[in-house]
Structure 1
Amino acid sequence: MDFSENFLHFIWQFRLFNSAKLYCADGEELQVLHPGILNKDAGPDFSMAKLVIDQTSWIGQVEIHIKSSDWLAHGHQNDPFYNAVILHVVYQHDSPVYRTNGSLLPVLVLENLFPIRMLANYHELIASVNSFPCQKHIASLDQFIIEGVLSRVLIERFEQKSAEVFLKLKAHCGDWEQVFYYFLARNFGFKVNAVPFELLADALPQQILLKHQDNPLQISALLFGQAGFLDHQFDEPYPIQLQKEYAFLKKKYGLIAVDKALWKFLRMRPQNFPTVRLAQFAALNLKSSKLFSKVLEAETLAELYLLFNDLPVNEYWQTHYHFNKNTGHVVVQPGLSSVQNIIINTVCLFLFSFGKYTDQPALVERAFDFLEKIPAERNFIVNQYVKEGIKVDRAFASQALLQLNKCYCNQKKCLNCGIGIKILKK
């Protein structure tokens, strides 16, 4: 059979079969009062199903297979845990199945009980070689349905990302400022340099930077030194000063720098070079100590923009993209899109996470409110959906589409997606 058991799970869970007059394979009359709860762990596929078989009520588990002989192939006949199964649902019935106590297991055969077009729709989605499985169909759906799905997957995205925040929080004994500093650093690296920025944040705890909050030279020396960029022969006064300061601070704190080879410069715009981003990150740490506390206090986007604008970047970087490489005028302030990226991926995530952690729903609502007010991100993935007529004008929608694409479309989990389910039911 050219489909998976998940397709039959879908048919059973949403009762998409003809249930007007059901009979088991051996002739018993069957009523499905409730299909049960889908089990995503080990054991029978559905639990707490409510059935009536030959006028006898049953509450128990349901197991689903393509063929009834799969019960034997999977070894369920030797597993006492499967004795609680009250119904075996299959596409084809090719073998009787008995429980370990010798009783015959009732079987419902689905082969002719659902519209064949549903299977055709499923094959079309799963076999699709388009940008995403439902590319040809999604424009036919009501925008209200799509928005509902996007709202659900956005919450799922933030729940998943929050789990990573909480894991890091546990490792740092509940220090929210340090964990925010770590995720903020990763965000400053974008995707290309996220990993070395993460390693830098681990190699240089925020507590050390706070001890030198009033010394711009030492803040920059610590960051550039720990990033590995001061292990070089310099000709200009500023990097020589940084190098001397770092030599002292490195010995004082017993620091170990990140491998400079990890940083990537190729195929990047000069304003996104890691050296420039590090200069901005140093300036942000100078401007705002205890930044997470200030983020929590900001109730409007305008207040957040103020935190990330007008950074005191050292004037050296107005004429340099790299040490010892003088160039023309350089824009040292992060652009609006960069600031919005930080708010979307770090600030909103932490408002959501902290709100959940401390049971402050107002912070969760604020995170989503900011996403509703920030323009949508534009990238290759989002543009695929926009091209098919999906309305994506706010970051709320673009973030949701990134989650939809990563966790459903790329994995062809159409049976777990509200959009896929609607198309299959059409």
Structure 2
Amino acid sequence: MKEDFLHYLWRFKKFNTLDLKSAQNESITIIKTGDYLELAGPDFFNAHIKIGDQKWAGNVEIHLKSSDWYLHNHEKDPAYENVILHVVWENDTPIFRENNIEIPVLVLKDYVEKEVLNNYNALLSPKTWISCERQIKEIDDFVFKNWQERLFFERLERKSKFIYELLEETNQDWEAVLFCLLAKNFGLNTNGLSFMQMSKSIPFTIIRKESFEVENLESLIFGTLGLLDGEKEDVYFKDLKFRYFYLLHKYQLEKPFINPVQFFKHRPDNFPTIRLSQLANLYSTHQNLFSKIIDLKMAKSVYELMNVSASSYWQNHYQFDKESPKKAKMLSKSFLDLVIINTIIPIQFAYSNIMGDSVSEDLIDFIKEVAPEKNAIIDKFDFIGIKSKNAFESQTFLELKNEYCNHKACLKCAIGMELLKN
């Protein structure tokens, strides 16, 4: 049993509340269970409880065993001096205040019906991919859709924390923040960190100044990532290298240490050379990209705005000195869908929060136009009969699995709560 189950029992009064007795044999009447804030300190704040003939207003602390009070050092914390009731599953030792008065104890296991306990065990016991995979399809559609909306915005809230950190680092320059996010996105999982390091290493003021000549952007980006190190016979390589060292001197930049980029296990169209050239061309085409992206409401508008390709040299190359059959290397729709999911929607959400605007419905409509991601988690949900029709749904399933199911947090999940209730 986990402590959050006891929180659930107390919060929703899922036990027999008639004729309650404390371990000290005093009658207990629950007037108000208190506010469940999940903050530091007692579990429930401002509870109203009648113990014996005395009405109390204060906090309630919950533990599996009463001895956990001492295990967690609550006796040394003044925040727990206002606890009026200690709710436990097992009362194995008396607990005293600093003034040596014993804290009243309610032993929940004496008042919980067997059916409630069986429902809890049935939900958490199966050794399945997720605890509710046999029952999740039974959830009421209204409950499920409301929970998906909350999961979607919880996911955006988490992603926004990184955006706010970047804002601090860039002195509130949204264009610079967008460049960092796009660079990370263009690097995908394998090279995302390296591309991000590159984007932070080049002051965005320089990107602005040099964006009118794409070769200068490529030289800065490629050079910073170490892709212009060594010697090659390729004329384009030599030109970029010359430009890079000229720009280093012009702006008095130092070559930073950055994790090497990886070509291994990538399809050629995802080679770092191709993605970096596409990124350079995007910024060469749009000098004020953030102002154009922030108001986009449709996926089609993104596809039109970001209709760029790698530079002409890369039409018949994937690496320097290695010629390949000619191919126009445009940003594909599937790749731009990832950009919408991982960059555009999060930055629009963060920006609207700071500006005090409400764009919740717009963001949901926007992301519902995007195809769902393809990965092992989404495939597994599909296998158990929960299909993603669009990226809104796939994003919520990723949040559900990673932030709830993986942590067995069924009692913080609307699906788990509904299953227990039923």
Normalising by the residue count of structure 2, what TM-score does the alignment of the two structures yield?
0.94
- Residue 55 of structure 2 aligns to a residue in which SS? strand
TM-superposed CA distance for 1:236, in Å, is: 2.3
Q: Distance in 2 between matches of 1:43 and 1:259?
A: 44
Number of the residue aligned with 2:266: 268
Q: Distance in 2 between matches of 1:188 and 1:237?
A: 26
Q: Distance in 1 between matches of 2:379 and 2:141?
A: 17
Contact 1:226–1:256 (8 Å) recurs in 2: no
Listed one character per residue, the Cα deviations across residues 130-159 of structure 1 (whole Å, up to 9, x for unaligned) are 222222221222233222211111111111
Contact 1:22–1:29 (8 Å) recurs in 2: yes
Number of the residue aligned with 1:291: 289
- Residue 28 of structure 2 aligns to a residue in which SS? strand
TM-superposed CA distance for 1:425, in Å, is: 2.9
TM-superposed CA distance for 1:415, in Å, is: 1.8
Rate the CA distance shift 1:24–1:335 in 2: closer, same or farther, 3 A.
Answer: same
Contact 1:185–1:201 (8 Å) recurs in 2: yes
TM-superposed CA distance for 1:258, in Å, is: 5.2
Unaligned 5+ runs, structure 2: none
Q: Distance in 2 between matches of 1:130 and 1:274?
A: 39
Q: Distance in 2 between matches of 1:203 and 1:76?
A: 47
**What letter corresponds to residue 18 of structure 1 in structure 2?**
N
TM-superposed CA distance for 1:400, in Å, is: 1.4
Listed one character per residue, the Cα deviations across residues 261-286 of structure 1 (whole Å, up to 9, x for unaligned) are 62111111111111110111111011
Number of the residue aligned with 2:392: 396
Listed one character per residue, the Cα deviations across residues 214-253 of structure 1 (whole Å, up to 9, x for unaligned) are 2122121111111211113222222221111112112222
> Aligned pair 1:329/2:339, yes or no?
no
Q: Distance in 2 between matches of 1:66 and 1:138?
A: 28
Rate the CA distance shift 1:257–1:111 in 2: closer, same or farther, 3 A.
Answer: same
> Aligned pair 1:384/2:393, yes or no?
no
Contact 2:298–2:369 (8 Å) recurs in 1: no
Contact 2:94–2:102 (8 Å) recurs in 1: yes
Contact 1:229–1:260 (8 Å) recurs in 2: no
Number of the residue aligned with 2:180: 182
TM-superposed CA distance for 1:330, in Å, is: 3.3
Alignment counterpart, residue 363 of structure 2, candidates 344, 349, 367: 367
Rate the CA distance shift 1:175–1:80 in 2: closer, same or farther, 3 A.
Answer: closer
Q: Which segment drifts farther, 57-66 or 37-46?
A: 37-46
Q: Distance in 2 between matches of 1:379 and 1:304?
A: 23
Contact 2:275–2:310 (8 Å) recurs in 1: no
Q: Distance in 1 between matches of 2:295 and 2:70?
A: 61
Number of the residue aligned with 1:357: 354
Number of the residue aligned with 1:251: 249
TM-superposed CA distance for 1:85, in Å, is: 1.0
TM-superposed CA distance for 1:120, in Å, is: 4.0
Number of the residue aligned with 2:108: 110
Q: RMSD value over aligned CA atoms?
A: 2.0
- Residue 262 of structure 1 aligns to a residue in which SS? coil
Q: Which segment drifts farther, 330-339 or 250-259?
A: 250-259
Alignment of 1:127-276 (within 5 A): 127-257=125-255, 259=257, 262-276=260-274
Rate the CA distance shift 1:265–1:259 in 2: closer, same or farther, 3 A.
Answer: farther
Normalising by the residue count of structure 1, what TM-score does the alignment of the two structures yield?
0.93
Rate the CA distance shift 1:293–1:369 in 2: closer, same or farther, 3 A.
Answer: same
Q: Distance in 2 between matches of 1:143 and 1:215?
A: 53
Number of the residue aligned with 2:402: 406
TM-superposed CA distance for 1:52, in Å, is: 2.0
**What letter corresponds to residue 420 of structure 2 in structure 1?**
L
Alignment of 1:292-311 (within 5 A): 292-309=290-307, 311=308
Number of the residue aligned with 1:416: 412
Contact 2:160–2:346 (8 Å) recurs in 1: yes
Contact 2:30–2:50 (8 Å) recurs in 1: yes
Q: Distance in 1 between matches of 2:334 and 2:115?
A: 45
Number of the residue aligned with 1:43: 41
**What letter corresponds to residue 10 of structure 2 in structure 1?**
W
TM-superposed CA distance for 1:312, in Å, is: 4.8
- Residue 52 of structure 1 aligns to a residue in which SS? strand
- Residue 329 of structure 1 aligns to a residue in which SS? coil
- Residue 246 of structure 1 aligns to a residue in which SS? helix
Rate the CA distance shift 1:299–1:80 in 2: closer, same or farther, 3 A.
Answer: closer
Alignment of 1:306-321 (within 5 A): 306-309=304-307, 311-321=308-318
Q: Which segment drifts farther, 79-88 or 348-357?
A: 79-88
Number of equivalenced pairs = 422
Contact 1:196–1:258 (8 Å) recurs in 2: no
